Amino acid sequence: MAINSGDSPAKSDSRIRLWNGIIIAITVVIGLRLFYLQVVRYSYYKQAALNDQLKQYQIPATRGLIEAKDGNNIVPIVLNQRLYTLFADPPFIKHPQQVADQISRIIGGKPSSYIPELTVKGTQYSIIAHKLTQAQSDAIGKLQDPGLGTQGQYYRVYPDGDLAAQVLGFVNNNGVGVYGVEQALNKQLSGTPGLLKAITDVRGVPLAASRQNTQIPPVPGENIVLTLNVGIQEQLQQILAREYKATKSQGVSAVVMDPYNGHVVAMANYPTYNPANYASVSNPKLFDNNAVDYPIEPGSVMKTLTTSAALNTGAITPNESFYDPAHWVIDGFNIHDIKIDGGAREQNIASILALSLNTGATWMLMQMSQKGNTIINGHGIQTWHNYMVNHFLLGRPTGIEQGYEASGYVPPANLNDPSINLRYANTAFGQGVSVTAIQLSAALSSVLNGGTYYQPTLVDATIAPNGHETVNKPKILERNVVKPNIGPELEPLMEGVVKAYLNGGFSFMNFPSNYIVGGKTGTAQVAKPTGGYYANIYNGTYVGFVGGNKPQYVIVVYNIKPNVPGYAGSYGGQPIFADIVHMLINEGYIIPKN
């Protein structure tokens, strides 16, 4: 154009064409680049996109309810409630003060307390509050604030507060059952979570209608109907709370069991807690169900089992008498009674139990060794060991539906042990062996029901999501614990113990005559962790039964280190047993003699 510089219009045109050529060249380069990205490298970028966009979610299954019997009804004792977590996406909160005011109007609290979480930097998910109700969540939704959201979550609800707390356990923040039934039956209760694979937006919200989306619906958990009787359970808990204080105890536990099927009708410990507030419990020992996870040396209550074994082997007969020398020297140690009742004299089987003679229990082990003699030998040790381990199933978990069940301990029948005779003489009266309350209940039940060991159970039935009910049949672990006649032989011996205490001034052991009540106290020495026993600390234990024509319930009581003016078994364990039996009779739970 500028002709004075010699340019011609043709040159101007050629400059435009040059520029146009450059534009075309760049466009071609971009086109080639697009070919490279979209065709050559397509699968790489497709995968990169899916890595970002395709997310997997578990769809939680609804957890099964836990129910129990209340009279003739089945009532839920653990329910689910859907509560909501309120969260914010801080970059989308345009006016934090205003939003905080709105939140405060809906869920309470000071507006200023929400400001920090609403304005936190570097996150798109900031939790504002937990456990909003459905109504509150709806109200938040009505605000239509893109920076706020709620997320539903099921929480366990306990309409009866601390009822059977340690039997139930609880569900932790991760949705996993811990302790008790919740732990033991977690799989059944939790069902099978569903799976959602979905292309989502950047916040993780699934986009509708994507070909990559797949969904497997969740299968809800089963409902569990417990064997617990709500009425008995409630009263048992009240009794334990009362006696815990009255006996200045460090902990009490009790089991009420139906001996004919192993059903646990009531099981409780004190102190306890409310599972709804498990998160605020500072001492995790409160979560323990000591009736199944706290084995102790049971003391003289063991004599009921020793007597049963000795009767069953024919080593003794129920009416047999023997000369009690008041002490035995075994492996160089003296065995004598805790009670000193007049020293050496003629005694019988009934008085072994009534007076709780350690010398008598030792004598029964001697009879199992060699009838008519007063020595302990390998045969007797092996026989008694066999009864403890293979008949009464001690030293191993019973398999009750509880978390953290303990095994207890039975000393091995090691005949090379130089003090094995002493060790085993001790086990005959419940020392040097450790047993849980549930183990004792099941073992005594097996004797009283005619010799069948039913696995202790808390589950009466399970109800599938489709409503189909499966009754939990009693599971027999051992058929020939003792011969059928041993129970009827042991019953009057144990009734005799109750009568002896009544006659001895324990007026609370007076029960109506149309019921049978039998029992046995135990005052157990407490082993030091360093070996040996404490001088003045005892655990009080009690085993017994109540019924009409036959034993209806077996009851085991453990009272840990009570501070009472007398024998721990008589003054710490026995009153609890008496309270329970009176309650059962008074409330009409026991069918009387006809």
Partner 1 sequence: MLPRAGALRERKRATLSDTALDEAITVRRHKPDHWLMVLCAILLAVGLVVIYAISPALSITTGTNGSYFVERQALAVGLSIIAFFVTANIPMERWRKSYKLLIGAGILATLVAIALPVNPNYPAHRWVRLGSLSFESVELVIFSLLIWMAHFLTTKIKKSQISNVRLTAVPMIIAILIIGVVVAFIQSDLGSTAVIIAMMGIMAFVAGLPLKRILIIGCIILLGTTLAIAAFPYRRARLEAFLHPTSNCQGSDYQACQALIAVGSGGFSGLGLGSSVQAYGYLPEADNDSIFAIYAEKFGFVGSIALLAVFGYLFYRINRVATNAPDDFSRLIVVGVLTWISVQTMINIGAMVGLLPLKGITLPFISYGGTSIIFFAGAIGLVYQVSRYTYFVNHGARSQFNGRNGSDDDSSHRRGVGRAYHPDLSGRIDG
Binding site for partner 1 (CB under 8 A): 1-5, 7-13, 15-17, 19-20, 23-24, 26-27, 29-31, 33-35, 37-39, 41-42, 44-46, 48-49, 52-53, 92, 145-147, 199-203, 205, 207, 210
Q: Which of 574, 585, 525 is nearest to 246 (CA)?
A: 574
User: Please, which residue, 70 or 89, has the CB nearer to partner 1?
Assistant: 89
In angstroms, give the least distance from the CB of 529 to partner 1: 54
Give the C-alpha distances (Å, rounded to integers) separating 557 from 267, 299, 578.
Answer: 10, 12, 10
Q: Which of 281, 64, 335 is nearest to 166 (CA)?
A: 281
Asked if 63 contacts 221 with a C-beta cutoff of 8 angstroms, the reply is: yes
Paired tokens of 203: 């916040």
User: Please, which residue, 37 or 329, has the CB nearer to partner 1?
Assistant: 37
Q: Which of 290, 248, 284, 244 is nearest to 267 (CA)?
A: 290
> CA torsion sign, 408 to 414 to 417 to 420?
positive
In angstroms, give the least distance from the CB of 52 to partner 1: 6
User: Please, which residue, 46 or 248, has the CB nearer to partner 1?
Assistant: 46
In angstroms, give the least distance from the CB of 144 to partner 1: 9
Asked if 186 contacts 176 with a C-beta cutoff of 8 angstroms, the reply is: yes
In angstroms, give the least distance from the CB of 186 to partner 1: 37
In angstroms, give the least distance from the CB of 56 to partner 1: 16
Longest Cα separation, the chain:
149
In angstroms, give the least distance from the CB of 7 to partner 1: 5
DSSP per-residue letters across 232-272: HHHHHHHHHHHHHHHTT-SEEEEEEE-TTT-BEEEEEEES-
Measured CA to CA, the distance from residue 276 to residue 586 in angstroms comes to 32
Paired tokens of 5: 């510089």
Q: How, if at all, do strands 469-471 and 345-348 pair?
A: unpaired
Q: Which of 275, 287, 427, 270 is nearest to 358 (CA)?
A: 427
In angstroms, give the least distance from the CB of 99 to partner 1: 12
In angstroms, give the least distance from the CB of 24 to partner 1: 7
Measured CA to CA, the distance from residue 102 to residue 98 in angstroms comes to 6
User: Please, which residue, 2 or 279, has the CB nearer to partner 1?
Assistant: 2
